[in-house]
Amino acid sequence: MQYPEPIARLIDSYAKLPGIGAKTATRLAFFTLDMDSEDVQGFSKALATVKDEITFCSICGNITSTDEDPCSICSDPSRDQDTVLVLQNPKDVMAMEQTREYHGLYHVLNGLISPSAGTGPDDINLPSLIQRLAQHENIREVIVGTSASTDGEATAMYIARLLKPANIKVTRLAHGLAVGSDIDYADQLTLIKSIEGRNEL
Ligand SMILES: [Zn+2]
């Protein structure tokens, strides 16, 4: 016997999520069937609207609501306006914010330079960083917080080479992070130490 089409469709949808196999997808589909109608409506509304209601901040590249651009960090005058921490993705920003130890601004690359994958500097949100630095002379330090992977290092080196002539201090988060690990999995203490012990590139 096959599952009725509406359930089969839901199982297929859940199975598209990372780490969800057929068995878990089936369990989730039946769990959904048991949920309150109101909860299911809320869930489906959140799913249906997320792509339309989230955009990238026109200044830093972090995710933000479509009705809040620039994002809440870029438009917060109490943040240190002279320091920019460059990170790979929005999840890294969230991890750093949770430490409450960093009070500067961010720039989110939404990727890394990867010679092996053919991803160049113009394929990530890097040109806008250069533009931003040219427009805001008060930015004195750029901290590169890309991962300690090969691509993360290549990206850090590229940024350092690019900014050195502009007389901007370029530092790198101390390598308390394991090679290839994403910053969002590191514990908060490691992140705090990593920022305190940053090295000039
Ligand atoms: Zn922003």
Q: How far is the CA of 109 from the centre of ligand 1 (A)?
A: 12
pLDDT of residue 180: 42
What is the tens place of the pLDDT at every residue in 48-98?
999 999 999 999 999 999 999 999 999 999 999 999 999 999 988 988 888
pLDDT of residue 88: 92
Q: How far is the CA of 75 from the centre of ligand 1 (A)?
A: 7
Q: Which ranges of the chain would DSSP assign to H, the alpha helix?
A: 5-15, 22-34, 37-53, 90-99, 127-135, 150-163, 188-196
How far apart are alpha carbons 55 and 51 in whole angstroms? 8
Its pTM surpasses 0.85: no
Q: What's the N-to-C CA distance of the chain in angstroms?
A: 63
Q: How far is the CA of 130 from the centre of ligand 1 (A)?
A: 15
Neighbours of 200 (CB within 10 A): 9
Ion ligand 1 contact residues with beta carbon within 5 A = 57, 59-60, 70-71, 74
Q: How far is the CA of 51 from the centre of ligand 1 (A)?
A: 18
Q: In this model, does residue 148 exceed pLDDT 70?
A: yes
What is the tens place of the pLDDT at every residue in 149-179?
889 999 999 999 999 888 889 999 876 554 4
pLDDT of residue 179: 42
